[in-house]
Homo-oligomer: A and B are copies of this chain.
Amino acid sequence: MSNLTHNIPEKTIERLSEYRRTLLSCHKQGVTHIFSHVLAGMHGITAVQVRRDLMLIGFSSDTKKGYDVKVLIEFINGILDSESVMNVAVIGMGHLGQAITKYFNGKGLKLRIVCAFDVDPAKVDSTIDDIPCYHMERFEEVVSAMDISIAVISSPTRVAPTLVVPIINAGIKGVLNFTSAPLNFPQGIVAENYDITTILEKVAYFVKESDENNDK
Protein backbone atom coordinates (compact mmCIF):
# COMPACT_ATOMS: atom_id res chain seq x y z
CA MET A 1 0.00 0.00 0.00
CA SER A 2 1.33 3.41 -0.89
CA ASN A 3 1.12 5.46 2.24
CA LEU A 4 3.54 8.31 2.01
CA THR A 5 1.07 10.94 3.02
CA HIS A 6 0.12 10.13 6.59
CA ASN A 7 1.52 9.58 10.04
CA ILE A 8 -0.79 6.94 11.47
CA PRO A 9 0.42 3.37 10.88
CA GLU A 10 -1.71 1.05 8.73
CA LYS A 11 -2.24 -1.38 11.60
CA THR A 12 -3.56 1.41 13.81
CA ILE A 13 -6.02 2.42 11.08
CA GLU A 14 -7.21 -1.20 10.88
CA ARG A 15 -7.66 -1.37 14.64
CA LEU A 16 -9.51 1.99 14.76
CA SER A 17 -11.98 0.56 12.25
CA GLU A 18 -12.36 -2.51 14.46
CA TYR A 19 -12.67 -0.51 17.70
CA ARG A 20 -15.37 1.60 16.10
CA ARG A 21 -17.48 -1.42 15.18
CA THR A 22 -17.20 -2.74 18.73
CA LEU A 23 -17.98 0.69 20.21
CA LEU A 24 -21.03 1.08 17.96
CA SER A 25 -22.29 -2.28 19.15
CA CYS A 26 -21.65 -1.29 22.81
CA HIS A 27 -23.42 2.03 22.25
CA LYS A 28 -26.43 0.20 20.81
CA GLN A 29 -26.56 -1.92 23.96
CA GLY A 30 -26.62 1.20 26.15
CA VAL A 31 -23.00 1.08 27.32
CA THR A 32 -21.84 4.68 27.91
CA HIS A 33 -18.25 4.14 29.11
CA ILE A 34 -15.62 1.50 28.50
CA PHE A 35 -12.18 0.86 29.98
CA SER A 36 -9.21 0.30 27.69
CA HIS A 37 -8.67 -3.20 29.07
CA VAL A 38 -12.28 -4.15 28.32
CA LEU A 39 -12.06 -2.85 24.75
CA ALA A 40 -8.69 -4.62 24.44
CA GLY A 41 -10.09 -7.90 25.74
CA MET A 42 -12.86 -7.82 23.15
CA HIS A 43 -10.20 -7.66 20.45
CA GLY A 44 -7.76 -10.12 21.99
CA ILE A 45 -5.04 -7.47 22.38
CA THR A 46 -3.44 -5.62 25.30
CA ALA A 47 -4.77 -2.46 26.95
CA VAL A 48 -1.39 -0.88 26.23
CA GLN A 49 -2.01 -1.35 22.51
CA VAL A 50 -5.44 0.29 22.72
CA ARG A 51 -4.08 3.23 24.70
CA ARG A 52 -1.16 3.62 22.30
CA ASP A 53 -3.50 3.65 19.27
CA LEU A 54 -5.77 6.26 20.84
CA MET A 55 -2.80 8.34 21.95
CA LEU A 56 -1.59 8.34 18.34
CA ILE A 57 -4.82 9.97 17.22
CA GLY A 58 -4.77 12.39 20.16
CA PHE A 59 -7.63 10.94 22.17
CA SER A 60 -7.36 10.91 25.95
CA SER A 61 -9.75 9.29 28.36
CA ASP A 62 -11.42 9.93 31.67
CA THR A 63 -9.57 7.16 33.47
CA LYS A 64 -12.05 6.88 36.35
CA LYS A 65 -14.97 5.84 34.19
CA GLY A 66 -13.08 4.74 31.10
CA TYR A 67 -13.58 6.13 27.62
CA ASP A 68 -16.85 7.86 26.78
CA VAL A 69 -18.18 5.50 24.09
CA LYS A 70 -20.12 8.10 22.12
CA VAL A 71 -17.33 10.68 22.18
CA LEU A 72 -14.77 8.09 21.12
CA ILE A 73 -16.95 6.94 18.19
CA GLU A 74 -17.25 10.55 17.02
CA PHE A 75 -13.52 11.02 17.42
CA ILE A 76 -12.71 7.93 15.32
CA ASN A 77 -15.27 9.07 12.73
CA GLY A 78 -13.30 12.30 12.45
CA ILE A 79 -10.12 10.36 11.72
CA LEU A 80 -11.40 7.63 9.40
CA ASP A 81 -14.29 9.16 7.51
CA SER A 82 -14.21 11.71 4.76
CA GLU A 83 -16.70 14.56 5.07
CA SER A 84 -18.85 13.28 2.26
CA VAL A 85 -19.83 9.71 1.47
CA MET A 86 -17.27 7.87 -0.68
CA ASN A 87 -18.74 5.86 -3.54
CA VAL A 88 -17.58 2.31 -4.19
CA ALA A 89 -18.04 0.03 -7.20
CA VAL A 90 -17.79 -3.76 -7.12
CA ILE A 91 -16.25 -5.43 -10.16
CA GLY A 92 -17.49 -9.01 -10.46
CA MET A 93 -20.87 -9.92 -9.02
CA GLY A 94 -20.27 -13.59 -8.29
CA HIS A 95 -20.71 -14.97 -4.78
CA LEU A 96 -17.92 -12.82 -3.33
CA GLY A 97 -19.17 -9.60 -4.95
CA GLN A 98 -22.66 -10.28 -3.71
CA ALA A 99 -21.42 -11.16 -0.23
CA ILE A 100 -19.55 -7.85 -0.01
CA THR A 101 -22.52 -5.85 -1.32
CA LYS A 102 -25.00 -7.51 1.04
CA TYR A 103 -22.63 -6.95 3.90
CA PHE A 104 -22.33 -3.22 3.30
CA ASN A 105 -25.90 -2.43 2.33
CA GLY A 106 -27.66 -0.46 5.01
CA LYS A 107 -24.71 -0.39 7.39
CA GLY A 108 -24.79 3.39 7.37
CA LEU A 109 -21.09 3.72 6.71
CA LYS A 110 -19.43 6.65 5.00
CA LEU A 111 -18.67 4.18 2.25
CA ARG A 112 -21.45 3.24 -0.10
CA ILE A 113 -21.47 0.57 -2.79
CA VAL A 114 -23.38 2.36 -5.52
CA CYS A 115 -23.01 -0.04 -8.43
CA ALA A 116 -21.47 -3.22 -9.76
CA PHE A 117 -19.87 -4.36 -12.99
CA ASP A 118 -19.92 -7.74 -14.67
CA VAL A 119 -19.89 -9.24 -18.16
CA ASP A 120 -22.46 -11.98 -17.54
CA PRO A 121 -25.59 -11.16 -19.62
CA ALA A 122 -27.74 -12.57 -16.83
CA LYS A 123 -26.41 -9.88 -14.47
CA VAL A 124 -25.72 -6.88 -16.70
CA ASP A 125 -28.44 -4.21 -16.63
CA SER A 126 -30.22 -5.88 -13.75
CA THR A 127 -30.38 -4.90 -10.10
CA ILE A 128 -28.72 -7.15 -7.51
CA ASP A 129 -29.42 -6.40 -3.86
CA ASP A 130 -30.68 -2.93 -4.86
CA ILE A 131 -27.42 -2.20 -6.70
CA PRO A 132 -27.45 -1.62 -10.46
CA CYS A 133 -25.09 -3.86 -12.40
CA TYR A 134 -23.50 -2.52 -15.61
CA HIS A 135 -21.41 -4.07 -18.34
CA MET A 136 -17.68 -3.68 -17.74
CA GLU A 137 -17.46 -1.89 -21.11
CA ARG A 138 -19.21 1.06 -19.50
CA PHE A 139 -16.80 1.28 -16.55
CA GLU A 140 -15.22 4.66 -17.32
CA GLU A 141 -18.50 6.34 -18.18
CA VAL A 142 -20.35 5.06 -15.08
CA VAL A 143 -17.47 5.75 -12.67
CA SER A 144 -17.40 9.33 -13.84
CA ALA A 145 -21.20 9.79 -13.81
CA MET A 146 -21.58 8.26 -10.34
CA ASP A 147 -18.48 9.89 -8.84
CA ILE A 148 -16.93 6.59 -7.75
CA SER A 149 -13.54 6.71 -6.04
CA ILE A 150 -13.01 3.11 -4.87
CA ALA A 151 -13.15 -0.17 -6.80
CA VAL A 152 -13.46 -3.59 -5.18
CA ILE A 153 -12.23 -6.40 -7.44
CA SER A 154 -14.08 -9.67 -6.88
CA SER A 155 -13.77 -10.97 -10.43
CA PRO A 156 -12.21 -14.30 -11.40
CA THR A 157 -8.43 -14.14 -10.93
CA ARG A 158 -7.68 -14.53 -14.65
CA VAL A 159 -9.69 -11.36 -15.38
CA ALA A 160 -7.99 -9.18 -12.76
CA PRO A 161 -4.93 -8.08 -14.82
CA THR A 162 -7.23 -6.77 -17.58
CA LEU A 163 -8.87 -4.40 -15.09
CA VAL A 164 -5.77 -2.33 -14.33
CA VAL A 165 -5.97 -0.05 -17.39
CA PRO A 166 -9.72 0.67 -17.16
CA ILE A 167 -9.28 1.44 -13.44
CA ILE A 168 -6.45 3.89 -14.15
CA ASN A 169 -8.31 5.50 -17.04
CA ALA A 170 -11.48 5.92 -15.02
CA GLY A 171 -9.61 7.90 -12.34
CA ILE A 172 -10.26 5.43 -9.51
CA LYS A 173 -8.29 6.40 -6.39
CA GLY A 174 -8.43 3.26 -4.26
CA VAL A 175 -8.52 -0.44 -5.11
CA LEU A 176 -9.25 -3.45 -2.96
CA ASN A 177 -8.28 -6.57 -4.91
CA PHE A 178 -9.60 -9.91 -3.64
CA THR A 179 -8.27 -12.06 -6.46
CA SER A 180 -5.11 -14.19 -6.42
CA ALA A 181 -3.40 -11.98 -9.01
CA PRO A 182 -1.39 -9.26 -7.27
CA LEU A 183 -1.96 -6.00 -9.16
CA ASN A 184 0.35 -3.00 -9.33
CA PHE A 185 -0.98 0.50 -9.83
CA PRO A 186 0.84 3.76 -10.44
CA GLN A 187 1.55 6.06 -7.51
CA GLY A 188 -1.50 8.05 -6.54
CA ILE A 189 -3.74 4.98 -6.51
CA VAL A 190 -4.03 3.30 -3.13
CA ALA A 191 -4.13 -0.45 -3.72
CA GLU A 192 -4.56 -3.33 -1.32
CA ASN A 193 -4.21 -6.89 -2.58
CA TYR A 194 -6.09 -9.20 -0.36
CA ASP A 195 -6.18 -12.88 -1.17
CA ILE A 196 -8.23 -15.10 1.13
CA THR A 197 -5.93 -18.07 0.42
CA THR A 198 -3.04 -16.23 2.05
CA ILE A 199 -4.83 -15.85 5.36
CA LEU A 200 -6.08 -19.43 5.33
CA GLU A 201 -2.58 -20.73 4.56
CA LYS A 202 -1.23 -18.59 7.38
CA VAL A 203 -3.69 -20.05 9.88
CA ALA A 204 -2.81 -23.56 8.61
CA TYR A 205 0.90 -22.86 9.04
CA PHE A 206 0.51 -21.77 12.66
CA VAL A 207 -1.73 -24.77 13.39
CA LYS A 208 0.98 -27.03 11.98
CA GLU A 209 3.72 -25.25 13.98
CA SER A 210 1.67 -25.48 17.14
CA ASP A 211 1.11 -29.22 16.53
CA GLU A 212 4.81 -29.86 15.96
CA ASN A 213 5.62 -27.95 19.11
CA ASN A 214 3.20 -30.06 21.14
CA ASP A 215 4.72 -33.25 19.76
CA LYS A 216 8.15 -32.35 21.11
Contact = CB atoms under 8 A, between A and B. Distances in A.
A200 B152 contact: yes
B94 A99 contact: yes
A188 B209 CA distance: 11
A98 B184 CA distance: 28
A208 interface: yes
Taking each of A174, A180, A200, which has the highest tally of chain B beta carbons within 10 Å of its own beta carbon?
A200
Contacts of A96: 95-96, 99, 103
A59 interface: no
A142 interface: no
A199 B11 CA distance: 10
Interface in A157-197: 173-176, 180, 182, 184, 188, 190-197
Interface residues of A, number: 71
Contacts of A200: 88, 104, 111, 150, 152, 176
A207 B21 contact: no
A202 B192 contact: yes
A80 B42 contact: no
A24 B114 CA distance: 36
A177 B151 CA distance: 24
A127 interface: no
Interface in A86-131: 86, 88, 94-96, 98-100, 102-104, 107, 109-111
A82 interface: yes
A182 B18 contact: yes
Given A14-B198, A42-B184, A100-B196, 19 more contacts: A1-B203, A1-B206, A3-B209, A5-B209, A6-B206, A13-B206, A18-B195, A43-B182, A44-B191, A79-B205, A81-B208, A86-B208, A96-B96, A99-B154, A103-B196, A109-B201, A111-B204, A174-B203, A176-B199
11 contacts: A5-B209, A6-B209, A10-B202, A13-B206, A14-B199, A18-B198, A95-B98, A107-B197, A150-B200, A191-B203, A192-B199
